[in-house]
């Protein structure tokens, strides 16, 4: 998945203006379903004049300790992302057909 950013670090002939997500992990505790930890591992990359991808050597980690508390405090981007992921999982489960339909609640 590539996400274009506007404040991009530049090296000679390459602008590192895209984000490559290596890992997305959402942990929701069975004991405390009202708390979710989100971990995103990503790196920046850019393309040269020939279209070859060049990845930054450093992987960055974004950790959100309590996603639901952050959503309640007004982080609408995170709220939309979490709802989108939940909807995608429901659609995949429905498509696979193992559990009948899996509507998003």
Per-residue pLDDT of the chain (105 residues; tens, 9 = 90+): 788 889 887 767 888 999 999 999 999 887 777 789 999 999 999 998 888 899 999 999 999 999 999 999 999 999 999 999 989 988 888 888 777 776 666
Q: Is the pTM of this model over 0.85?
A: no
* Interatomic CA distance for residues 9 and 70, integer angstroms: 28
Q: How many CA atoms lie within 13 A of 60 on its CB side?
A: 10
Q: Which of 65, 104, 62 is nearest to 84 (CA)?
A: 104
Residues 6+ apart with CB under 8 A from 49: 13
């Amino acid at each position: 998945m590539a996400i274009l950013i506007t404040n991009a670090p530049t090296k000679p002939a390459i602008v590192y203006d895209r984000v490559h997500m290596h890992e997305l992990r959402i942990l929701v505790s069975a004991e405390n379903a009202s708390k979710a930890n989100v971990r995103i591992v990503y790196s920046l990359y850019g393309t040269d004049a020939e279209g070859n991808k060049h990845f930054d050597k450093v992987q960055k980690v974004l950790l959100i300790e309590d996603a639901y508390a952050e959503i309640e405090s007004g982080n609408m981007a995170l709220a939309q992302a979490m709802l989108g992921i939940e909807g995608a999982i429901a659609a995949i489960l429905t498509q696979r057909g193992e559990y009948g339909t899996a509507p998003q609640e």
